[in-house]
Amino acid sequence: MTKIDDVARLAGVSTATVSRALRGLPTVSAATRRRVLAAAEQLQYAVSPSASRLAGGRTATVAVVVPRITRWFFGTVVEAVEETLHQRGYDLLLYNLGGREHTRQRVLRTASLHKRVDAVMLVGTPLGPAELTFLAALGLPGVTVSSGSRVPGWPCVRIDDLAAARTATRHLLDLGHRRIAHISGDPHELTFTAHRERRRGYQEALRSAGIVPDPSLDVESQFTTDGGNQATVELLARGEPPTAIFAASDELAMGALRALRGAGLRVPQDVSVIGIDDHDLSGVLGLSTVAQPAAEQGRLAAHILLDPLGGRALLPLPAGGPAPRDAGTDPHVTPVILPTRLVVRDSTAPPRAD
């Protein structure tokens, strides 16, 4: 284990100078810097993160919290975030809530994040009042991606869920559908609430077309492919099938495709299906959807977090904690809304003319 003293000795300077040179501080002469870098290289020196963190007061680590890394959206976001963080020299501590309440407690209510990370990114994880209070007490900078609830003072990156749902529904209306069902996730699940907005968008689009939403055509389930399957099975059991289904996510839509096929209904001839996401597999499945830029949301959120003018995660904190944000002028506390885009494939078509 070579340490900073070894490098200092070999380079013939003090440890303070080694520290400065290695971190690229400007107050080091070019010649000295060269010698230090050469010495460090020769000794294969790597700074001890623990020591550096303890002395410097920053961890260069970000906690990334997701409901389930195996779901398309969260995996895609994390992948983009990981790249951005590592490019900038930050470590990524992964927290996968996985629907386990005690994990949630541990992460969001204990001091486990405290002193461990410089900043927090919450992806698709709406918070309860107690959790909000706790996070605020931590005093850490953070950012949320597509989370149902905002954390006061934290920037937020997301899409306009209401508009995306409206676009999807309107596409079905434009094709001539009138009997349009909606399947979505469990509204009581506290891990993801975008589908509430999506339901509103669906209902708004229907109303704009002069259609009163029919509760019997609106089925809730789990926010997964299995959930989509079950929701559609139930939908079909309720009586006359709809001519089209708007699913609140592509994973739900894939479940719907399955259930329809199982019921002997053809897509799109008998029933049209559209989702939201543009999941990796949607192209392969020929699923029409409203695409959202998942990786882009992750990348952007990471940049905002690391941006010294924005997240301030990395600047040595001024005594007394980060300067309070002015919600009126700081662009970072107003949500950053990324655009979505209708992608028409093979799963949507006009209703049968009978």
Q: Considering CB distances under 5 to 8 angstroms, the limit depending on partner class, which of a copy of itself, DNA, none binds residue 100?
A: a copy of itself
- Please identify, using beta-carbon distances, which residue of 25 and 309 lies nearer to DNA: 25
CA nearest neighbour of 11 among 53, 41, 46 = 41
What are the residues whose beta carbons fall under 8 Å from the beta carbon of 222, sequence distance 6 or more? 185, 186, 189, 230
Strand locations in the chain, DSSP E? 61-66, 91-96, 119-123, 142-145, 156-159, 180-184, 218-220, 244-247, 272-277, 288-291, 336-338, 341-343
Is residue 320 a contact point for DNA (CB under 7 A)? no
Q: Considering CB distances under 5 to 8 angstroms, the limit depending on partner class, which of a copy of itself, DNA, none binds residue 59?
A: a copy of itself
Is residue 337 a contact point for DNA (CB under 7 A)? no
Q: Which two tokens stand for residue 12?
A: 């013939």
Q: Considering CB distances under 5 to 8 angstroms, the limit depending on partner class, which of a copy of itself, DNA, none binds residue 116?
A: a copy of itself
User: Which x/- pattern, by CB under 8 A, does the window 113-132 give for a copy of itself?
Assistant: -xxx----------------
- Please identify, using beta-carbon distances, which residue of 19 and 147 lies nearer to DNA: 19
- Please identify, using beta-carbon distances, which residue of 45 and 202 lies nearer to a copy of itself: 45
State how far the Cα of 181 lies from the Cα of 246, in Å rounded to an integer.
Answer: 6
* CB atoms near residue 280 (< 10 Å): 12
Written as one letter, the residue type at 51 is: A
Q: What does the angle CA 230 – CA 236 – CA 240 come to, to the nearest 5 degrees?
A: 165
Number of residues in contact with a copy of itself under rule CB under 8 A: 54
DSSP at 333: G
The one among 38, 55, 136, 281 contacting DNA by CB under 7 A? 55
Q: Are the C-beta atoms of residues 246 and 181 closer than 8 Å to each other?
A: yes
> Is the Cα dihedral 239, 244, 248, 249 positive or negative?
positive
CA nearest neighbour of 129 among 151, 97, 96 = 151
Is residue 17 a contact point for DNA (CB under 7 A)? yes
User: Which x/- pattern, by CB under 8 A, does the window 93-112 give for a copy of itself?
Assistant: xxxx-x-x--x--x---xxx
DSSP string, 74-123: HHHHHHHHHHHHHHTT-EEEEEE-TT-HHHHHHHHHSGGGTTT-SEEEEE
What are the residues whose beta carbons fall under 8 Å from the beta carbon of 329, sequence distance 6 or more? none
- Please identify, using beta-carbon distances, which residue of 139 and 283 lies nearer to DNA: 139
Pick out residues in 8-47 that bind a copy of itself (CB under 8 A).
44-47
- Please identify, using beta-carbon distances, which residue of 14 and 208 lies nearer to DNA: 14
Pick out residues in 279-318 that bind a copy of itself (CB under 8 A).
280-281, 283-286
CB of 301 to a copy of itself, least distance (A): 16
Is residue 44 a contact point for DNA (CB under 7 A)? no
Is residue 215 a contact point for DNA (CB under 7 A)? no
State how far the Cα of 334 lies from the Cα of 330, in Å rounded to an integer.
Answer: 7
Binding site for DNA (CB under 7 A): 1, 3-5, 12-20, 22-23, 26-29, 31-33, 45, 47-48, 51-52, 54-57, 316
Would you tell me which residues interact with a copy of itself (CB under 8 A)?
A: 1, 44-51, 53-54, 59, 64, 68-70, 72, 75-76, 78-79, 82-83, 86, 91-96, 98, 100, 103, 106, 110-112, 114-116, 225-226, 229, 254-255, 257-258, 261, 280-281, 283-286
